[in-house]
């Protein structure tokens, strides 16, 4: 660590430095912890020039370890706790000699590693200059991480002229991300209070902002969109926010406008940086403009064929395990980001980021970026979020003799005949889309749209082939269809579609599904608000960890509910229909959830919950009379909201999917 930063930390003394899990630490605590970590590392023979991976998050121990290793002039490769699945790859990519685990309030775990004895020239140059190193990782074209090495002293130098500020900063990006480290170093150099959330779901972030009166929130456009969709800004006092910075991806203009409308007194600032060149100072034209310009004496830039090239004083020395093809001989880094210069009226020197070069889509000779299409789609009030990507068309590929059709997709306006089917198979085309699927279940409704398609497709094929497989045997094939739609091959939805009634999925590898009884008087009432809730967002909002106490309660309720089905015990069923894990989080994404639940239970519902990932909700009732009462009560709640909706009431189908007779 450079001398100036050490002095700066000592000068802040008893100022609060870090708030984590209800504990607060001062800058004196940090200085003490850094010195102790330094002594421990020296005792373990960690020396200048040694490469050490540092596994952790923004805890006192991890931050102290990072600074201590910089002081020793070691080469530090931070690894975030959620990147443990890539830990071995990153150790190999960096040729680390040490692995250090820095967990909260526990002693350091230090392990010596076997590594190649040859010292990389970039490491040698830092040793000769008596400078520490910072190693960051990015994914290469092969999926293997590229290890890039910075001079830690040079990277930290850009923070030397920062002035002290009374600023509470929430640290959002992870421990191994250049943006997250930039927030950390900025906080250290200004004497800010750094608020480290336990996880990064919208509610936890909102709670942290309210509890600590956070003034600065750095985030990504994707998260900010999820933040608004969740509605947590209406449940917590976020009036302390003075700045929201955003980067890592293009910001849709429509989303930026919605953020500003939600936080009218908050300044919105676009940032820019890369792992290779560091974070550059930028100026946003306004809080409602996606135009920015570089305002950094340490950064040079130019635009070549629409692509941004950067050269900075804080950029990496190079890659430890990869060639320098993205750098020119003059030291320019080809970012891969596509820029659109501002018009003369918009302001000289400003530009907007429109996408990535490798994401460019060729549509009939016209070059289009996915972000442009996404931004246009997001202007429609019916669309909460979207993802645009390109798929190769098999017809186009086959027209070019130099390209293979292996694993491509064929789109056809008519059902292929026998001869065409043979040609499709012979060409290696893996997927064929023809005709249309007609269904009245809207995608993203939470009532099994993807499961209906997946189960319907395999059931239909099985019928065409004279039923060679039983409904149980069809489940793995329907799971594969579910994976295409939702990203996960699970049987939760396709199993009851194929088998009927209630099912218990004991295992998916191998598939083991148990059919459960369906009480004859049991009815279900489903409310489908016609708003789309992405399964991705519904998953992101869930907490990664569940307390043992909650898990035990949930298991007990599940066991009791299964027992109630077998005994047709409706009272036990009512007591068991409790969700302590998923519902508290996902209910935030559903308008007036608590009011709907209260109305249903007061009208005689046995239980009330979220259907799938939402936004649909359901109530279980005993008999048609109670079902009608519940339907009327939830209708009275949803009607004033000016949201289109459907209400369905049904028995629990005991037989599963079937072919309807011709009408």
Residue of 584, 641, 654, 647 whose CA lies nearest to 617: 647
Task: Name the helix (H) or strand (E) containing 527.
Answer: strand 522-529
Q: Is 440 exposed, middle or buried (0-12, 13-18, 19+ CB in 10 A)?
A: exposed
- The DSSP secondary-structure symbol of 110 reads E
Q: What is the distance between the alpha carbons of residues 27 and 11, in angstroms, rounded to a whole number?
A: 8
- Choice among 131, 203, 482, 583 that is catalytic: 482
- Rg, Å, the chain Cα set: 28
- Asked if 345 is an active-site residue, the reply is no
What is residue 315's three-state secondary structure? coil
CA distance 539 to 385: 14
Q: How far is CA 451 from CA 259, 446, 484, 490, 505, in A?
A: 34, 10, 11, 10, 15
Contact in structure between 654 and 522 (CB atoms under 8 Å): no
Q: Name the residue among 35, 12, 14, 34 with its Cα closest to residue 25.
A: 14
Helix (H) / strand (E) containing 269: strand 267-270
How far apart CA 141 and CA 145 sit, in angstroms, is: 9
* C-beta of residue 19 within 8 angstroms of C-beta of residue 196: yes
**3-class DSSP assignment, residue 259:** helix
Local structure of 148: helix, strand or coil: strand
According to DSSP, the β-strands at 299-304 and 51-56 are: unpaired
Of 282, 290, 535, 621, which one is the catalytic site residue? Answer: 535
Catalytic residue flag (residue 307) = no
Strand-pair category, 361-363 with 366-368 = antiparallel
Quote the tokens at residue 188. 């250290």
Contact call for residues 200 and 171 (beta carbons, < 8 A): no
Q: Which residues are the active-site residues?
A: 482, 535
């Amino acid at each position: 660590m450079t001398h100036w930063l050490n002095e700066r930390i000592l000068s802040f003394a008893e100022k609060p430095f870090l708030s984590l899990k209800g504990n607060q630490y001062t800058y004196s605590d940090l200085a003490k912890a850094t010195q102790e970590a330094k002594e421990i590392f020296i005792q373990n023979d960690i020396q200048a020039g040694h490469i050490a991976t540092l596994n952790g998050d923004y805890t006192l121990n991890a931050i102290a370890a990072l600074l201590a290793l910089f002081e020793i002039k070691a080469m530090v490769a931070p690894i975030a706790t959620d990147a443990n699945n890539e830990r071995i790859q990153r150790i190999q990519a960096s040729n680390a000699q040490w692995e250090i685990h820095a967990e909260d309030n526990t002693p350091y775990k230090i392990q010596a590693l076997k590594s190649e004895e040859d010292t990389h020239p970039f490491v040698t140059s830092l040793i000769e200059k008596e400078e520490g190193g910072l190693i960051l990782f990015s994914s290469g074209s092969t999926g293997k991480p590229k290890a890039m090495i910075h001079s830690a002293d040079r990277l930290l130098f850009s923070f030397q002229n920062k002035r002290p500020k009374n600023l509470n900063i929430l640290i959002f990006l992870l421990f191994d991300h250049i943006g997250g480290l930039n927030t950390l170093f900025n906080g250290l150099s200004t004497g800010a209070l750094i608020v480290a959330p336990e996880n990064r779901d919208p509610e936890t972030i909102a709670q942290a902002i309210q509890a600590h009166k956070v003034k600065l929130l750095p985030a990504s456009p994707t998260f900010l969109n999820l933040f608004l969709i969740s509605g947590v800004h209406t449940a917590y006092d976020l009036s302390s926010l003075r700045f929201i910075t955003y980067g890592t991806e293009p910001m849709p203009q429509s989303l930026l406008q919605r953020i500003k409308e939600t936080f009218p007194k908050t300044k919105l600032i676009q940032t820019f940086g890369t792992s290779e060149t560091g974070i550059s100072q930028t100026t946003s034209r306004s809080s409602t403009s996606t135009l920015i310009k570089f305002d950094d004496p340490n950064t040079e830039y130019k635009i070549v064929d629409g692509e941004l090239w950067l050269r900075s004083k804080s950029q990496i020395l190079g890659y430890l395990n990869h060639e320098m093809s993205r750098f020119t001989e003059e030291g320019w880094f080809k970012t891969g980001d596509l820029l659109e210069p501002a018009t003369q009226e918009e302001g000289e020197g400003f530009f907007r980021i429109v996408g990535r070069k490798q994401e460019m889509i060729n549509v009939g000779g016209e070059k289009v970026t996915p972000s442009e299409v996404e931004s246009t789609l997001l202007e429609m009030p019916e669309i909460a979020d979207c993802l645009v990507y390109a798929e190769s068309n098999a017809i186009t590929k086959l027209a070019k003799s130099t390209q293979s059709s292996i694993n491509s997709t064929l789109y056809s306006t008519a059902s292929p005949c026998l001869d065409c089917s043979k040609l499709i198979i012979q060409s290696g085309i893996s997927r064929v889309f023809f005709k249309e699927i007609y269904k009245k279940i809207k995608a993203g409704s939470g009532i099994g749209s993807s499961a209906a398609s997946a189960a319907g497709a395999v059931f239909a094929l099985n019928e065409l082939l004279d039923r060679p497989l039983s409904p149980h045997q069809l489940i793995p094939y329907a799971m594969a269809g579910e994976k295409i739609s939702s990203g996960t091959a699970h049987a939760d939805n396709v199993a009851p579609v194929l088998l009927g009634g209630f099912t218990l999925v004991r295992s998916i590898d191998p598939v083991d599904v148990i059919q459960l009884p369906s009480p004859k008087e049991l009815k279900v009432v489903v409310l489908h608000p016609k708003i789309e809730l992405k399964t991705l967002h519904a998953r992101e909002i869930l907490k990664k960890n569940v307390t043992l106490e909650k898990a035990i309660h949930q298991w007990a309720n599940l066991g009791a509910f299964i027992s109630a089905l077998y005994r047709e015990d409706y009272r036990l069923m009512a007591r068991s229909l409790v969700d302590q894990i998923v519902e508290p989080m996902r209910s935030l994404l559903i308008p007036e959830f608590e009011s709907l639940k209260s109305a249903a239970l007061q009208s005689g519902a046995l239980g009330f919950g979220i259907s799938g990932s939402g936004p649909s909700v359901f109530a279980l009732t005993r008999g048609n009379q109670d079902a009608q009462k519940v339907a009327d009560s939830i209708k009275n709640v949803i009607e004033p909201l000016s949201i289109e909706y459907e209400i369905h009431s049904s028995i629990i189908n005991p037989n599963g999917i079937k072919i309807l007779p011709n009408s």
